[in-house]
Structure 1
Amino acid sequence: MEEPLATYTIDTNGARRVLTLHWHGFVSSEVYREGMLEALKTSRQGAYICWIMDTKDMKVIRQMDQEWTVATWFPQFQLLGVQKFAIVVSDDIFNQMAISSMIAKIRPHIQATVEYFQTLQEAVNWVQDPQGLSTDDFGLFSIK
């Protein structure tokens, strides 16, 4: 049986200001970086304050792409003002380790509240819950 094409899709909900980035399969460095940058661009254009990174069907992320994410992509992500960042955990243990490693490196600096979920629906429910979203400019955040 042939593997499905490894790629990504981006869904948005303007009314709820949610961007969802779905990953599928083992993506090349080129596709990974393209998807991550396209999500930044889409988020800037739509002023999305909640992100869902759906890695459920994603395979391992190469070490060089992990380093790129932390060093190059993350500083751009910080400028977006995202308040909630949900991660749907991959079924692939190597992807889980890669995501955990990246989050551990950025957690001391990230302004958004980050939570992990087993299903996309759980992540959607969390980001759509208005509790924990700060609407003022005092930089308040919620801790779960």
Structure 2
Amino acid sequence: MRTNQVDIVSRVVLATFEGFLKYHEFKQIAENSLALVQETGYSKILVDTSKIKVIQKESQEWINNEWFPKAVNAGVTHMAFLIPQDYFGKVSVESTNKHMAQRGDIEIQYFTDEKSARRWLRSKTQLA
């Protein structure tokens, strides 16, 4: 399974998180997605968390305290999350992003299907 990819047609970075990830595994996927943002200059990320079980507290804190500020500085403006059907996974994903969603530096939306997520990201074109 590839955890990080670039969709050059849609100009979106794709990140996939599956299962119960240990802190270092979670961090590596997130860091790789940010590296692709910096490499491509893309401002949108499609995050597939549909098969994640739960996000560890340590990973949640790292995302909020370190990754999100770096993402804002790198120019990330929009993130679409494919959320898990599993209740605990869904709550875990939403609570991890809650602070950034409230701040509004990065616009975050949640979806149950990839087609809707991609449609929303396409609607968020950057004005030059």
TM-score in terms of structure 2 length: 0.89
- Paired position in structure 2 for 1:135: 127
Indicate the residue corresponding to 1:142 in structure 2. none
**TM-aligned CA deviation for residue 17 of structure 1:** 1.4
What root-mean-square deviation, in Å, do the aligned CA atoms of Structure 1 and Structure 2 show? Answer: 1.7
Q: C-alpha separation between the residues in 1 aligned to 2:32 and 2:67?
A: 11
Post-superposition CA distance 1:1-21 (Å, at most 9, x none): xxxxxx761121123210111
Deviation at 1:74, TM superposition (A): 1.0
Kindly indicate whether the alpha-carbon contact (under 8 Å) linking 2:53 and 2:89 is maintained by their aligned counterparts in 1: yes
4+ aligned runs moved over 4 Å, structure 1: none
Q: How does 1:99-110 map to 2 (within 5 A)?
A: 99-110=93-104
Secondary structure class of the residue paired with 2:103: coil
Alpha carbons 1:14, 1:46 under 8 Å: kept: no
Larger radius of gyration: 1
Q: Could you tell me the TM-score, scaled by structure 1's length?
A: 0.80
Residue ranges of structure 1 left out of the alignment (5+ in a row): 1-6, 137-144
Q: Gapped runs of 5+ residues in structure 2?
A: none
CA distance in 2, matches of 1:95, 1:85: 18
Alignment of 1:1-144 (within 5 A): 9-129=3-123, 132-136=124-128
> Partners in 1 of 2:34 and 2:102 — Cα distance?
21
CA displacement at 1:84 relative to structure 2 = 2.0
Summarize deviations over 1:18-74 as a string: whole Å, max 9, x none. 011111211111110011111111110011111111101111011111111101111
Contact 2:54 2:93 in 1 (8 A): no
